Structure 1
Amino acid sequence: MPLLFQRKIGLEDRPIPIAGIRDLLQDALAATGFTDATGNPLHFAPHDFRRIFTTDAVINGMPPHIAQLILGHRDINTTMGYKAVYPEEAINGHRAFIARRRDLRPSEEYRSPTEQEWESSSATSNDARLPSETAAGPTAPVASTSTAASLNYRLVPAE
């Protein structure tokens, strides 16, 4: 596999030692004058760029198993641990999932209920009680007030 950081020595391409890469990186950062929020010079390690590359590659469509091969990981979970997840990405991923799911399900499942269906559902669910405990125990969240209100549930405190 080709090396990312290499130099010619005679007729051979040789890897640049990791310490040399660190020095080059720190010198380049120092020359920029960039600082972090506390005013200290920025510090990056070569490994940071592996993470940045992986995040960018997978977000832009590289299949994770290909990134795994490029990075030389035995386990795909190691590769996916490198990939950062941004809130917008999570939202877009969820929307795409819902769109794919809707494509697979009969369209009538996704219609808006009629007024009569809504009233009928509302009348029968007004007395529904949310459980005060789950299998995880009494501290596990059951439903938010907004979720319960949208479902017409009445919140009942744990006894």
Structure 2
Amino acid sequence: MPRDSFTDDAGSAREYLSGLILQLQAARLQRALSQRGLGARLGMAEIVVGKWENYADLPSAGSFVRWAHALDYTVNIVDRRRRSVGHRPTPRRLESFEDYEIRRIAAALKQARIEADHTQESLGELLGVSEWTIRMWETARRQPRILHLIRWSVALNCRVVLTKA
């Protein structure tokens, strides 16, 4: 499991992500599933999975959600007490699993931002992105990169965690 506390910088977010990736890699190995087999489940080449597991490339937030789901995990946002943040929004007609999950995660982080008394502008300043970017993330019109997702949660005293589905 990734370490629980870190400073809010890209290096720390990358280190935290490496812990999440190790969890997914261990889950794959525990299931005796090859990178090729996992790639087939994800509709991707095995080399993509290998690059993710070896940190040669990072998955998008959406791909990370699908990767976790393929191994029976759910990506969740929890507060410092490890309580789940947010609620499950109603799925939209014809919405893909990946889009729904990103919207669910974004809604949880929006709720955490409001509870932390941050504006989109003040959160953007903390993360080094614009207010527009925060608005696009919160409405799931744009997906944050996976490292931004981790830094976004940390800025709100939350964590991205993998939960057994």
- What TM-score results when the alignment is normalised by the length of structure 1? 0.29
Give the number of the structure with larger relative contact order, counting CA–CA contacts within 8 Å between residues 6 or more apart.
Answer: 2
